[in-house]
Amino acid sequence: MSYNPNLAYFLKRLEGVSVNRFQIQPQNSTSATANKVVRFTLPQNALINTKNIALHFSANADQVADQGGRLPAKIDSLIDRYSVEVGGVQVASGFNGYGLFKHLKDALSHNKCDAGLGHPEMVRQNSYVDNSVISGIGNETYASTNNQTQFCIDKWEGMLGSLAPCVLDSSILPTITLTLFLASDDVLSSVAGIGLRGSGGNTEIVTNGNGGARWSMENIRLVVETFGLPDATYDGLVEGMMEQQGFLELSYKNIYSFENSHTGSSRVAVSSQSVDRVWCAFRDTNFSTQGGVIRVEGHKGHGGYVSSTSGGNNDFDVGIPSYDYGGVLGTNSEKYVGKYFNMKEGAAAGKKPTYQLQVGGAYVPQFKATAEEMLQISKSSVEEGEMDKVMTLDQYKTNFFGFCVRFNLPNSEELREVSGLNTKGMALDMFINSDGQSTRNLTTFVETSASLRVGSAKQIEVLA
């Protein structure tokens, strides 16, 4: 007879465990600019905690003077793609639009970007990173002297964030190489001023600047957590499992991206052992043209003034929200998003858009769903199962519009179950259909489950 773990009294002990962290320098250079590639070789003969791999760096939007350059919200927006190679074999090719996927997933589920190292919000004038002040059309800059950094990426999507088990024994694998493909300068904003509402002669930050802002990254390094075990028990366990079934199998997420000019129907096709989810993000067609930031609906915009002295004339614009002036649902604050990452429904004049996926001959959902219905479907489709923040319906349609449709069993990732659509060997056509939308840029992310099989003599096989 077995009992529920909540009813059992027990304690397991594992003595002699050692935990340490190593700093790894890039293969090529510790500095980089837009569209460059940065490579790291992960430690060999070690137990690596893949979920605790952290990329540290300093970033600046100052490669061209006085362009009003602003770094995007969520510093991982500076990554466009990453890949993982094992012994020269690409086991995770990565996907373009990594930063956009992070914005979409954070909007529909849990926001994983922390305030300390993640640059979660855009900076208008006074930076919350180091309390520096930007004036006029100055750029957002941070010091990189003395090897200092301000930012860190430690919450990864794709293989690094989903590998199970997350403790990877690199001794049974050939050399592991992590390659980062950096984003273009398009992810930056170029603003014409620092004003909240043009107060004090300052042009508003939402006004387009001259464009041409460029960014750079300095002091790049990787910090990896590793474990050590006191005896050969673990090694014997691994060898026994490999002898018993001929290989060890590690599961992880592979994601594929497709970008279309969407005019009502867009096609994607993926061959995989398990299609788990489809994510769709809609943007304006000019999303890649640098310009002023976009104010998130409801947050502070038009003026509410105070003076620095009693009865004085030196006014400061503190702003008032565009919803109720008291600032309902957390809107009594500033909040912006760059054009590149602003996701908007874009309803055609006089239309109420609807959405539906066509998978082979089946429709998902079985009806043409409105944005409100797609939001509910998305909340029940994400891995975490709920949103941890307030997002109004107006904000969803105007600044964070996209949706997610799940094809696998709920919480199957926790149990390492492969239960999604099996399209192996046939590349099943999938169409994203909509009615009542103006022309949009549609980026579709297809989330799949892949497996890495490791055999004797460091032989590997990938089941995509």
In terms of Cβ atoms closer than 10 Å to its own Cβ (0-12, 13-18, 19+), residue 387 is middle
Question: What do you get for the CA distance between the two ends of the chain, in Å?
Answer: 39
To the nearest 10°, the Cα dihedral for 122, 81, 391, 377?
170
* Cis-peptide, bond into residue 174, ω within 30° of zero: no
Rounded alpha-carbon distances, angstroms, from residue 194 to 123, 141, 306:
9, 15, 17
The pLDDT assigned to 2 comes to: 60
- Chain region(s) in the chain for CATH 2.70.9.10: 17-299+334-463
Please, which residues have CB within 8 angstroms of residue 252's CB and are 6 or more apart in sequence?
92, 158, 159, 162, 163, 164, 449, 450, 451, 452
Query: pLDDT at residue 75 above 80?
Result: yes
**167 vs 51: CA distance, rounded Å:** 8
pLDDT tens, residue by residue, 11-33 = 777 778 889 999 999 999 999 99
Query: pLDDT at residue 239 above 60?
Result: yes
The confidence band for 311, taking pLDDT boundaries of 50, 70 and 90, is low
Closest CA to 44 of 169, 227, 213: 169
Contact 359, 428 (CB under 8 A): yes
| DSSP structural state of residue 462 | E
The confidence band for 225, taking pLDDT boundaries of 50, 70 and 90, is very high
Identity of the residue numbered 51:
K
Please, which residues have CB within 8 angstroms of residue 27's CB and are 6 or more apart in sequence?
39, 40, 41
The confidence band for 1, taking pLDDT boundaries of 50, 70 and 90, is low
Contact 265, 368 (CB under 8 A): no
Q: Which residues is 48 bridged to in the sheet? A: 168, 226
The pLDDT assigned to 201 comes to: 66
**40 vs 24: CA distance, rounded Å:** 7
Fold of the domain built from segment(s) 17-299+334-463: Adenovirus Type 2 Hexon; domain 4 (2.70.9)
pLDDT tens, residue by residue, 80-135 = 999 999 999 999 999 999 999 999 999 999 888 999 999 999 999 999 999 999 99
Q: Where are the beta strands (DSSP E) in 87-158?
A: 89-92, 151-153
Q: Which residues is 280 bridged to in the sheet? A: 403, 444
Query: pLDDT at residue 229 above 90?
Result: no
The pLDDT assigned to 388 comes to: 57
Query: pLDDT at residue 195 above 60?
Result: yes
The pLDDT assigned to 307 comes to: 75
**171 vs 161: CA distance, rounded Å:** 20
Give the H/E segment covering residue 180: strand 176-182
**78 vs 34: CA distance, rounded Å:** 8
